[in-house]
Amino acid sequence: QLQLVESGGGLVQPGGSLRLSCSASGLTLEVYNIGWFRQAPGKEREGVACTSKIGTRSNYTDSVKGRFTVSRNDAEKTVYLQMNSLKPEDTGVYYCAADWGPYTPKCTISDYDFWGQGTQVTVSS
């Protein structure tokens, strides 16, 4: 069983940066696609960024393109989400998740099998 734990969330002013970490345990990370998702208050969970096994492909939702970067270090069993130029609309609980199957660029929630507990990101002045 793969277990995922997110960290790095917090309160940041608009225009600021945060780096989220997703640490894995239990199984090898490199055989999983990893996605980052977020859920704002009163809204549905949405895919933010996803990266394929070994990190050969990455995709982002339009609202974060050019601001967020996903990367992975399989040796350290950690996946990162670097978030720059943060906006109030980026506020939400951020989750990482792992998908065993073929990679799809749409970061579809239903494809992902293992989920972390989430970390809160608040962008506010």
Only one residue has tokens 């640490």, namely 23
Average pLDDT over residues 70-80: 94
Q: For residue 107, give the nearest of 38, 11, 16 by alpha carbon.
A: 38
Residue 36 confidence (pLDDT) = 98
CA distances from 105 to 15, 89, 119 (A): 27, 23, 23
Higher-confidence position of 106 and 12 = 12
The answer to whether 93 and 118 have CB atoms below 8 angstroms apart is yes
pLDDT in tens, 33-64: 999 999 999 999 999 999 999 888 999 999 99
Q: Could you tell me how far CA 12 lies from the centroid of its own chain?
A: 17
Residue 1 confidence (pLDDT) = 82
Average pLDDT over residues 79-108: 95
Q: What is the dihedral of CA 48, 26, 32, 119, to 10 degrees?
A: 0
Residue 23 confidence (pLDDT) = 96
